[in-house]
Amino acid sequence: MISSVGLGIPPYEISQTEIKSIVKEIFSDRESRLVERLLPIFDHAEIDKRQFVVDSEWFRESHSFQEKNDLYHQLAIKHSLNAIDACLTDGDFLKQPVPYEAIDMFMFVSSTGISTPSLDTYIMNERPFREDAARMPLWGLGCAGGAIGLSRAFDWIKAHPEKNVLVICCELCSLTFQKDDLQKSNLVGTALFGDGVGAALLMGDNSAYLPYSKHTKPRIIQTSSATKKNSHDVMGWKVTNRGLEVIFSKRIPALVRSFWQQHTDQFLQTVNINHQSIHSYIAHPGGRKVLEAMEDVLQAAREKFKYSYDVLWDHGNMSSATVLYVLKKWMQTGITENQFSILSALGPGFSSELLLLEWDKT
- Write the DSSP string, 187-252: HHHHHHB-EEEEEEEEE-TT-TTGGGB-S-EEEEEEEEEEE-TT-TTSEEEEEETTEEEEEE-TTH
Alpha carbon distance 293, 290 (integer Å): 5
The model's pLDDT over 150-197, given as tens digits with 9 standing for 90+, comes to 999 999 999 999 999 999 999 999 999 988 777 777 888 899 999 999
Q: Who's near 269: CB < 8 A, 6+ residues apart?
A: none
Looking at the structure, tell me whether residues 47 and 145 fall in a common domain.
yes
Instruction: Tell me the sheet residues that pair with 240.
Output: 243
- 42/171 same-domain check: yes
Report the catalytic residues.
143
On whether both 203 and 268 belong to a single domain, the answer is no
How far, in Å, are 105, 250, 254, 266 from residue 348 at the CA level?
Answer: 25, 14, 15, 21
**Residue 205: helix, strand or coil by DSSP?**
coil
> What local confidence, expressed as pLDDT, does residue 32 receive?
65
Q: Which of 21, 14, 51 is nearest to 318 (CA)?
A: 51
Q: Is the pLDDT confidence value at 34 over 70?
A: no
Domains contained in the chain, number: 2
Q: What is the pLDDT of residues 290-332, one digit of tens each?
A: 999 999 999 999 999 999 999 999 999 999 999 999 999 999 9
Which CATH number belongs to the domain containing residue 326 in this structure?
Answer: 3.40.47.10
**Residue 31: predicted pLDDT:** 60
**Which domain range does residue 21 map to?**
2-212
Is 46 in a helix, a strand, or coil? Answer: coil
Q: Which residues of 27-39 are buried (b: 16+ CB within 10 A; e: fewer)?
A: beeeeeeebeebb
Each residue's pLDDT tens digit, 4-18: 999 999 999 999 999
Band of pLDDT at residue 39, cut at 50, 70 and 90: confident
Confidence grade of residue 30 (pLDDT, cut at 50, 70, 90):
low
Is the CB of residue 355 less than 8 Å from the CB of residue 152? Answer: no
Considering the domain architecture, whether residues 203 and 241 belong to the same structural domain is answered as: no
Last residue of a domain, one of 163, 178, 212: 212
Lowest mean pLDDT among 57-66, 143-152, 165-174, 227-236: 227-236
235 and 200 assigned to the same domain: no
Q: Which one has a higher pLDDT value, 45 or 235?
A: 45
Q: Bridge-partner residues for 10, per DSSP? A: none
Asked if 274 and 310 sit in the same domain, the reply is yes
Q: Which of 212, 228, 247 is the last residue of a domain?
A: 212
pLDDT of residue 241: 85
DSSP state letter for 165: E
